[in-house]
A and B are shown apart, each in its own frame.
Chain A
Amino acid sequence: MSSVVRIAYSPFSANESLADVIEALQASDSGTDAGFDDRIAAMDLLAKQILAPSSPIRKKIPSEGLAYLATFLQQGYLQGLIARELADVRSLTEFVSVEARKSIRHVPRGLVCHWVAGNVPLLPLFSWAISVVLGNRNVIRLSSRQNDVVSPFLEVLQQLSEAGKVIANETVVVSFDSDNVSAHRLMSEAADARIAWGGQEAVSSIRGLPTHWECEDIVFGPRVSMAVVDPAVIDAGGIRRLATDVVVFDQMACSSPQSIFVKARRNSKEFQSFRDRFSREFDTLSSAYPRHALDFSETYQIGLDRARVLLDGGEISRDRSTSWTVAVVDRPNDTVQCANRFVQLIPFEALDEVFPLIPRNIQTVVSLLGTDDLAEFTEIAAKLGVCRFPRPGEGNNFENPWDGTGLVSRLTRAVMRTDNG
């Protein structure tokens, strides 16, 4: 482990230390040079650049998730995600009346520090994009094991418009080892908001860092996801999109389904047909989307988990190698690590069978059910902890709120004013 801090992107002198860079960022007169509309427009330009065939970004960044990021950054989409939390988005620009003689204004929280997990390469861009359009300055810490996927976007952004330049100048990207406590402390003590992505150990250690008392903490901690589908409702395209939700990011995203509940009896034609069609799509997509090279431990785990399923009375569909596994089980096998394209199919006949099997650390349930079932399922499952019910194909689409937390309210300060009568 090393105490080196690499400043991957900074508007300040390349030779400055992390402390100097943070101090300069805090002192910079940001949040005033570009308003909300300018910032949203700059993101829209960036989205167009991402999609341009000649874009330098496309040469530097893995394609997985890039198309969705471009969608996310489009003016209408991003503005829509922000508007979900605000009665009137104009409050990001000026005081707006909320009731008689009362107005509200949302101002940037200040310095937002992001600790990013390495499981989903483009992850930092999502929380950063929302933070910067709200006018915050940002420090993004990448793990020293991660490739820098942020700087290429900033290099393009600063050339697109004045607002793009302002946003890029409000962003610093650094990388350092996880045990570099002094670097973590520097970030934490300077932060007005801390965003921590990661597993239990990572988010706990970030929360344990000293910070000032009014610092806002947004923790995207370790969660699991699943899907619930009705074979009578889902068509071939839906099955393909569901398989895509499992395949992309190798199930390392908290939103990746690890198990799929299928509304059919295990030995019914409907269930067998769903299993076969899903397996075929899973196979095709596993070839189409290259997986990261598994290490020995991950590889062993797949062999072990396949055997566990069989010994526990389940069935397996799989390729000849370790690329994908579809396990049919009567209830989720909790000893099995559903990772690296290993998914469990669980048949059920009534929704009541599913509710007790929803884990406490649930995040997403990709859902495609009949209208009445969907209404009943989402009403009860939401109270059991589910944060999202996207349709197949939308499972890994980052959105706001996320993990049940609205980012806008946490990354701004709401200021009240009593107006003249």
Chain B
Amino acid sequence: METSLFLPGVGPYSMDVSEKARFLHNTLDELLSYHTERCPGYAKLTADWFGRRAEESIAIADYPYIPVSLFKEYELRSIQDDLAVVQSSSTTSNNAAKIYVDKESRKRQTRSANLILSDFIGGERRPYLVFDLESTVRGTKGFSARGAAIMALAHIASEFFFVMREGDNGLELDHEALAKAMSKIDGKPFIAYGFTYILYQAHEAMSGEGKWQAHPESVFLHSGGWKKLIEIAVDKPTFNARVAEPWGLRSERVIDFYGMVEQIGVVYPDCPEGVKHVPYWAEVIMRRADTLEPADPGEPGLIQLISALPLAAPNHSVLSEDLGCIVHTDGCPCGRSGTAFTFQGRAPRSETRGCSDVVRR
């Protein structure tokens, strides 16, 4: 790969849209050739794309993308050896996506996550309270999506504290481990992370206990689906208050971030304005229903995620089944440039089709 991915002295959100498009054009051209040469499956997809490609110069939105579900069904990889695999959590289906990661991609992911999170919560290392099991991040050949999300924050951890344990009914808060961790943290600012629903469950288990006094610069990050929380009528303000309250923190210190197992390393935390920003080595495009054409700002669409990081598999441009909406480009009061968007949940399943069947039995 020719293009230098992380530019010295350039903040992740400091490029305006046109400057970023120039940068991404070069990067995507290189990734297109790179993965086409190395991944036979991807080559089949791009052969079709090249066959239909107009001669004129193309926009970022014109580059090919892969529907994420394909990673559940096909082994798509551009490097054959020395790979780790990350599997999606697959809470709603039997299939898990398998995303291959090599050493170089992992380095890029770490650097990317570091730059992004530093921009939001500072770059100094802090104690890291993990609302999960230590075993979730163990193993050399693969991770679950939860494990990958935990490790995305590892670079800013001075020390790990895992505070959940396996109980009779699944994960439960390990009160003893939490007490020990808080004693060791000793009033210093810390960072905490948990999958959204796990974090909520843990804080439900803390209700009625005495409060822990967290340093006001401590921050709780969480990611993952809201489906189970919506089912029990917990919305984002309720969630934030529920998590912040036992620690004496303001609810702004609870930050939701969006990310996909197919694009580890690029995370999208909410800024103080409640929107998500895209660093210059990534892009987000919303695609309209019916046509898959790029949607205008303010118009909901399927989220297409572009990331310049992946080298082991052609997951650098994927079409998700999530819905989002571009809020603006280059205009966020928080000062960050580039595309800003909101995440609006999973696209609803289509209604049944009537007397025709889609399944040939």
List residues of A whose CB falls within 8 A of some B CB.
117-120, 123, 145, 197-202, 220-225, 251-256, 258, 293-304, 306-308, 310-311, 313, 316, 320-322, 332, 334-335, 337-339, 359-361
Contact = CB atoms under 8 A, between A and B. Distances in A.
A320 B52 contact: yes
Given A296-B289, A296-B347, A222 B355 contact: yes
A307 B321 contact: no
Contact of B70 (A199, A307, A332, A360): A307
B348 A295 contact: yes
A201 B352 contact: yes
B267 interface: no
A337 B289 CA distance: 17
A312 B357 CA distance: 23
Interface residues of B, number: 39
A256 B361 contact: no
A311 B347 CA distance: 25
Contact of B354 (A117, A299, A300): A117
Contact of A258 (B67, B74, B291, B360): B360
25 contacts: A119-B354, A120-B354, A197-B354, A198-B355, A199-B353, A199-B355, A223-B355, A223-B356, A223-B357, A224-B359, A254-B356, A297-B348, A297-B350, A299-B289, A310-B45, A311-B41, A316-B48, A321-B292, A321-B293, A322-B290, A338-B358, A339-B356, A359-B360, A361-B357, A361-B361
Contact of B360 (A304, A308, A339, A361): A361
Most buried by A among B69, B74, B349: B69
Contacts of B191: none
A200 B359 CA distance: 11
Contacts of B47: 310
Interface in B327-361: 347-361
Nearest to A306: B48
Nearest to A120: B354
B321 A222 contact: no
A285 B95 CA distance: 37
A258 B353 CA distance: 14
Contacts of B349: 297
Nearest to B323: A296
B77 to A, nearest CB: 13
Given A199-B355, A202-B352, A361-B360, 10 more contacts: A198-B355, A222-B355, A222-B359, A255-B356, A300-B321, A322-B291, A334-B359, A359-B361, A360-B361, A361-B357
Contact of A304 (B69, B348, B355): B69
Given A307-B66, A322-B291, A252 B353 contact: yes
A310 B48 contact: yes
B348 A321 contact: no
Given A118-B354, A307-B67, A300 B52 contact: no
Contact of A254 (B69, B355, B359): B355
Most buried by B among A198, A308, A310, A332: A310
Given A296-B347, A297-B348, A307-B70, A321 B291 contact: yes
Given A253-B355, A300-B67, A304-B67, A224 B360 contact: yes
Contact of B347 (A220, A297, A306, A320): A297
Contacts of A198: 352, 354-355
A204 to B, nearest CB: 12
Contacts of A297: 321, 347-350
A105 to B, nearest CB: 33
Nearest to A292: B290
A144 B353 CA distance: 15
A221 B361 CA distance: 13
Contact of A322 (B74, B292, B350, B359): B292
A255 B355 CA distance: 9
A253 B356 contact: yes
A252 B356 contact: yes
Contacts of A339: 353, 356, 358
B228 interface: no
Most buried by A among B291, B356, B357, B361: B356
Contacts of A311: 41, 44-45, 70, 74
B288 to A, nearest CB: 8
B325 interface: no
B133 interface: no
Contacts of B299: none
A107 B82 CA distance: 77
Given A296-B348, A297-B350, A310-B44, A256 B356 contact: yes
Given A199-B352, A296-B348, A303-B67, A337 B361 contact: no
B202 interface: no
Nearest to A201: B352
Interface in B292-307: 292-293, 301-302
B19 interface: no
A316 B48 CA distance: 8
